[in-house]
Amino acid sequence: MRFESIEQMNSKLILCTRCPRIVKFRVEVADRRSRFLGEKFWSKPVPGFGSIDSSLLILGLAPAATGGNRTGRVFTGDKSASFLFSCLYAVGLSNKADSTSRDDGLKLDQLYTTAVLKCVPPGDKPLPDELENCRDYREFEIENMKNLRVVLALGKIAFDTFKGYLKGKGFDVSEMQFKHGVGYRVGKIQFYGSYHPSPRNVNTGRLTREQFINVLQEIKDNFLS
Ligand code: SF4
């Protein structure tokens, strides 16, 4: 499907029902999270957040069940969001150290955030055909980032999905291997990978605040103003 603008794409995106398994799950999961009983969940596809004119793209996996799927804004309202924004704030890429709701006054600097899959999948594990169904939305976003200089993929699925995008554009991606802090030059874009700031990675010490800030600081010092 071709879109005319990001705004027009988002107006279509939030109505999307292409993936039957996910459409069912994104609604049902709201009823299972007793911590939020009585709260109306967004339970729809979640658009990107930030200016599409930014130089840095942070690419996550998908909205979290009680994060983006609850609040309607990507990386908002869950522990991954709190970790991510505490680090973004530390290096001056956001005006607040947390992301809690769509009306919290959060602003991003030189940064656009989105996910490779726009709805929460069961078990945070999208099926290949679901990632394929969502391809035209994410690729339209990427191709509308006319000032894009740096991509930071959070986790292996986001990394491999962006790698697949680059391969589709004719770049040699055969040497690209996901690991934390890895960086590759691809044409005009610097492509980084990081462990996802999920509670599982943070609580086990797989991803520390220092490690994550180091990647953000390297990006800021070398590629942003
Ligand atoms: S995951 Fe993407 S393609 Fe599937 S229903 Fe959500 S927005 Fe549509």
**pLDDT at 30 (0 to 100):** 83
- What domains does the chain contain, in order, with CATH numbers? 6-223 (3.40.470.10)
Considering only CA atoms, which of 163, 198, 195, 197 is closest in space to residue 177?
Answer: 163
* Ligand 1 pocket test, candidate residues 119, 124, 139, most atoms within 8 A of CB: 119
Taking only the tens place, the pLDDT of each residue in 113-172 is: 999 999 999 999 999 999 999 999 999 999 999 999 999 999 999 999 999 999 999 999
Strands ordered across the beta sheet of 150-154:
49-50, 111-115, 56-60, 150-154, 189-194, 183-186
Taking only the tens place, the pLDDT of each residue in 71-124 is: 999 999 999 999 999 999 999 999 999 999 999 999 999 999 999 999 999 999
| DSSP-H helix ranges across the chain | 6-13, 20-32, 68-71, 79-90, 128-133, 135-143, 156-168, 199-203, 209-223
**pLDDT at 137 (0 to 100):** 98
Ligand 1 center–CA 130 separation, angstroms: 7
Atom number of ligand 1 nearest to Cα 23: 5
* Ligand 1 pocket test, candidate residues 3, 9, 16, 27, most atoms within 8 A of CB: 16
Ligand 1 center–CA 211 separation, angstroms: 32
Q: Closest residue (by CA) to atom 3 of ligand 1? A: 134
Residues whose CB falls within 8 Å of the CB of residue 126, separated by 6 or more in sequence, listed in order: 22, 61, 62, 116, 117, 157
Model confidence at 37, pLDDT cuts 50, 70, 90, reads confident
Give me the count of residues in the chain: 225
Ligand 1: lining residues by beta carbon, under 6 Å: 13, 16-19, 22-23, 45, 117-119, 130, 133-134
pLDDT more than 70, % of the chain:
100
Ligand 1 center–CA 142 separation, angstroms: 17
Backbone angles phi, psi at 104, to 5 degrees: -90, 0
SS3 154: strand
Q: Closest residue (by CA) to atom 6 of ligand 1? A: 119
In this structure, the strands spanning 189-194 and 183-186 are antiparallel
Residue 101 contacts residue 75 (beta carbons within 8 Å): no
Is this model's pTM higher than 0.85 or not?
A: yes
Atom number of ligand 1 nearest to Cα 26: 6
